[in-house]
Amino acid sequence: MIMRRIKGFMLKRMHGMITCREFEDFVLSYLDDTLPPNQRKRFEWHMKICRECRDYLAAYQRTIELGQSILAADDKPLPDDVPEDLVQAILDARGR
């Protein structure tokens, strides 16, 4: 608790540092690789000194990978999935 207060104080006051809240605002751009070099440096520096943000980002990235792997795996329909009644309804409606 006392350590966190010292950390918060340092990050807020010291030159070239960003707070965890600012880190949070940069996460998306950092991962999209669109952070300006200066901000990128601060972001990476914050990650070196802040365990919470480092852990957070790792879990955040794992979440994205997990969501992508699982939903992308569902994207393989079998050919016999073709619902005949729906196909017919579409072809009938087209003629009209």
Partner 1 sequence: MASEPSSQKTLGGLVDDAAAELLVRENIAWMLDLAERLLRDRGLAEDVVQESLISALRGLGDFKGESALKTWLHRITTNTAISKLRKLKRVAEESIDDYLPVFDQNDCRLELPWTQLVSLQELLETEEIREHVAKGISTLPDSYRIILQLRDIEGYSTAETAELLELSTDNVKVRLHRARSALKKLLEPALRGEMQI
| Footprint of partner 1 (CB under 8 A) | 4-5, 7-9, 11-12, 19-24, 27-29, 32, 50-53, 55-56, 58-60, 62-72, 74-75, 77-79, 81-83, 86-87, 89-91, 93-94, 96
50 touches Zn ion by CB under 5 A: yes
Q: Does 53 bind Zn ion (CB under 5 A)?
A: yes
What is the distance between the alpha carbons of residues 26 and 60, in angstroms, rounded to a whole number? Answer: 13
Alpha helices in 1-96 (DSSP H): 2-13, 20-31, 37-49, 51-73, 84-95
3-class state of residue 14 by DSSP: coil
Query: Does residue 27 touch Zn ion according to CB under 5 A?
Result: no
Query: Among residues 21 and 62, whose Cβ is nearest to Zn ion?
Result: 21
Nearer CB in complex with Zn ion: 4/62: 4
CB 25 within 8 Å of CB 55: no
Complex with Zn ion: residue 35 or 53, whichever CB lies closer:
53
Of 42, 64, 60, which is closest to residue 52 (Cα–Cα)? Answer: 60
Which residues bind to Zn ion, rule: CB under 5 A? Answer: 20, 50, 53
